[in-house]
Amino acid sequence: MIVRENPARIREVVGRVAETDPGAAVRRAEAAGREWSARAPADRIDALRRSAAAVQARAGELAVLLARETGKPLADCRGELAFALAHLRWVCDHAPRVLGERLLDDEAGRLLIRRKPYGVVVCITPWNAPVILAMLKLAPALAAGNTCVIKPSPLAPLAVSEVAAALPGVEVVHGGAAAGQALVGHPLVRKVAFTGGDAAGRQIAAAAGAMLTPTVLELGGNDPALLLPDFSLTGQDYERLVMASFATSGQVCMAAKRLYVPRARAGEFTAAYVAAAERILLVGDPLTPGVTMGPVISAQAAERIRALVPGTAMPLGRSTGDLGAGYFVPPVLVPDLPDDAPLVTQEQFGPAVPLLLYDTVDEAVARANHSELGLAASVWSADEDRAFAVADRLEAGFVFVNTHNRTGMSLRAPFGGVKRSGHGREYGEEGLLEYVQSTVVHAPAAFRPGGPGLAATAYPLP
Ligand code: NAD
């Protein structure tokens, strides 16, 4: 039995889930797939739209459950459910066009290209945005005719299980790394979609590789936010930059994790940033109105983050309520760190952000790129063209301009990392195409009755 406590009030149990047999779930998904994949695509889309309506009807109650199990402010949890449903509807709107078959029948012959589902897709997801990160896999996979087995994180298994239960063709497995490994290594599994950390990502890639099962891996980031020398930020812009680092207590893959600021403007930047944090950052219980930052997910996470923060850290924001009741870590800005400090080189995944000063843009770009990770980044400038030119030099899968983190996302924009932040994409048309394989039927015109023919050893005509 997995027991989940409220990270803001550790003594409060939010819910319990029973561990599940991974093999039995895969077999059920495989059996269900025969009927689901044979349905007309429009029938599948209709069923998914009905699921969206069913989850929508319960969104208020599910947002409270999500807030209590993750420690994320209630408004964020409402937003997460709404965005997950928006993504599901986007998939319903676009899948028929993107995944439709193509028939070419002309003087070169007849060529039919179909987008076929893989079969059983295993989805393994983390706790920081459990509903969205599940939906990014389930919606396109189901629309394409796959069935799914999802294994959520044991740290946030409750709300996502309710959402998954409303979708057709989904089995939920509860458990930790061993359950995940059993799923990835199962011979009936045809694709694995994983979001999570580097260590689990390597083990999943190895287990999938041993089975020759293809993967989508959405791993960690150490995202730089690069303020160009001409940056021009209003108070609201500064608040957005603060939340780019501290939303979900910094526990977001694409959070702004390193701030690069021109040395000549360091004093002005620091004063405006601290003032903005004072206005926008209120730390407290996620269900308290006005709170914008809750606790971190666990005692281990709190300990790991505190160990990264030196004594020179500047405290940020305000707080309310009893922070001793949960896994709270105060938000800080950390100036004067060398580039090899652990808070700079590692993904902190918590509410502490280093302020790094630079002298030239070339130097800033080189230091921003000096990482094995390349998930997202941002460029802040008064000149959009200049920002786009610098964005092109950053090694990242997604570069935001004049914003960073969730405010810069778009349902139509493919998201995913370069370098060791993973491979494959979620969102947009690329996100749909991850869950189909192209299959072809081809009758070359040369061999039709009365056709010109071709020597048995020849290459086809171009
Ligand atoms: P995690 O890697 O510890 O766990 C993620 C999931 O994998 C959980 O369900 C866990 O039970 C399972 N798991 C762990 N070890 C496994 C193994 N060996 N085999 C199979 N399954 C295993 O990650 P987390 O702590 O839950 O999440 C934090 C990490 O996720 C951060 O590094 C963050 O950057 C990353 N993340 C990435 C994205 C993205 O889109 N790229 C989004 C959110 C989070």
Q: What is the pLDDT of residues 95-138, one digit of tens each?
A: 999 999 999 999 999 999 999 999 999 999 999 999 999 999 99
Instruction: Kindly compute the dihedral angle of the four CA atoms of residues 447, 453, 455, 457, in this order, to the nearest 10 degrees.
Output: -30
CA of 183 to the centre of ligand 1 (A): 15
Average per-residue pLDDT in the chain? 97
Domain that holds residue 110: 2-219+421-440
Regarding whether 91 and 143 lie in a shared domain, the answer is: yes
Pair 426, 272: CB distance under 8 Å: no
Regarding whether 109 and 27 lie in a shared domain, the answer is: yes
The pLDDT-based confidence of 49 (bands split at 50, 70, 90) is very high
The pLDDT-based confidence of 201 (bands split at 50, 70, 90) is very high
pTM strictly above 0.85 = yes
pLDDT above 80 for 462: no
CA of 129 to the centre of ligand 1 (A): 11
Regarding whether 325 and 178 lie in a shared domain, the answer is: no
CB proximity list for 306: less than 8 A, separation 6 or greater: 329
Assess if residue 456 is contained within a domain: no
Assess if residue 146 is contained within a domain: yes
Sign of CA dihedral 302, 124, 346, 81: negative
223 alpha-carbon distance from chain centroid: 14
Mean pLDDT of the region 163-192:
98
The pLDDT-based confidence of 6 (bands split at 50, 70, 90) is very high
Nearest CA to ligand 1 atom 20: 180
Assess if residue 451 is contained within a domain: no
Regarding whether 150 and 6 lie in a shared domain, the answer is: yes
Assess if residue 460 is contained within a domain: no
Mean pLDDT of the region 174-182:
98
pLDDT digits (tens, 9 = 90+) for 394-427: 999 999 999 999 999 999 999 999 999 999 999 9
Regarding whether 427 and 404 lie in a shared domain, the answer is: no
Quick count: other Cβ atoms within 10 Å of Cβ 384?
Answer: 11
We report the CATH number of the domain holding residue 148 as 3.40.605.10
Nearest CA to ligand 1 atom 3: 197
Confidence (pLDDT) at 240: 98
**Number of residues that make up the chain:** 462
Assess if residue 399 is contained within a domain: yes
**203 CB under 6 A from ligand 1?**
yes
Mean pLDDT of the region 436-452:
95
CA-CA distance, 220 to 375, in Å (whole number)? 7
Confidence (pLDDT) at 269: 98
pLDDT above 90 for 1: yes
The count of domains in the chain is: 2
pLDDT digits (tens, 9 = 90+) for 256-276: 999 999 999 999 999 999 999
pLDDT digits (tens, 9 = 90+) for 232-263: 999 999 999 999 999 999 999 999 999 999 99
In ligand 1, the atom with minimum distance to the C-alpha of 221 is 34
CA of 219 to the centre of ligand 1 (A): 7
Assess if residue 33 is contained within a domain: yes
Pair 364, 393: CB distance under 8 Å: no
DSSP label at residue 426:
B
Take residue 53 and report the two structure tokens written for it: 């309506």
Nearest CA to ligand 1 atom 31: 197
Regarding whether 78 and 101 lie in a shared domain, the answer is: yes
Is position 218 annotated as part of the catalytic site? yes
Take residue 341 and report the two structure tokens written for it: 């400090």
Quick count: other Cβ atoms within 10 Å of Cβ 417?
Answer: 26
pLDDT above 80 for 140: yes
Take residue 377 and report the two structure tokens written for it: 């980044």
Assess if residue 459 is contained within a domain: no
Confidence (pLDDT) at 290: 97
Ligand 1 mutation pick, 69, 70, 128, max ligand atoms within 8 A of CB: 128
Regarding whether 97 and 68 lie in a shared domain, the answer is: yes
Regarding whether 249 and 213 lie in a shared domain, the answer is: no
CA-CA distance, 374 to 453, in Å (whole number)? 51
Assess if residue 313 is contained within a domain: yes
**347 CB under 6 A from ligand 1?**
yes
Ligand 1 mutation pick, 69, 204, 248, 254, max ligand atoms within 8 A of CB: 204
Q: Within 99-231, where are the H helices?
A: 130-143, 158-165, 177-184, 198-211
In ligand 1, the atom with minimum distance to the C-alpha of 207 is 19
CA-CA distance, 71 to 77, in Å (whole number)? 9
Regarding whether 30 and 128 lie in a shared domain, the answer is: yes
**197 CB under 6 A from ligand 1?**
yes
Regarding whether 399 and 315 lie in a shared domain, the answer is: yes
CA of 417 to the centre of ligand 1 (A): 15
Take residue 376 and report the two structure tokens written for it: 């997202």
Nearest CA to ligand 1 atom 21: 180
Regarding whether 300 and 173 lie in a shared domain, the answer is: no
Nearest CA to ligand 1 atom 10: 153
Is position 395 annotated as part of the catalytic site? no
Mean pLDDT of the region 178-201:
98
pLDDT digits (tens, 9 = 90+) for 368-397: 999 999 999 999 999 999 999 999 999 999
Confidence (pLDDT) at 461: 75
Mean pLDDT of the region 194-212:
98
Nearest CA to ligand 1 atom 40: 218
5, 218, 426, 434: the active-site residue = 218
> 3-class DSSP state for residue 431?
helix
253, 347, 395, 426: the active-site residue = 253
Regarding whether 142 and 282 lie in a shared domain, the answer is: no
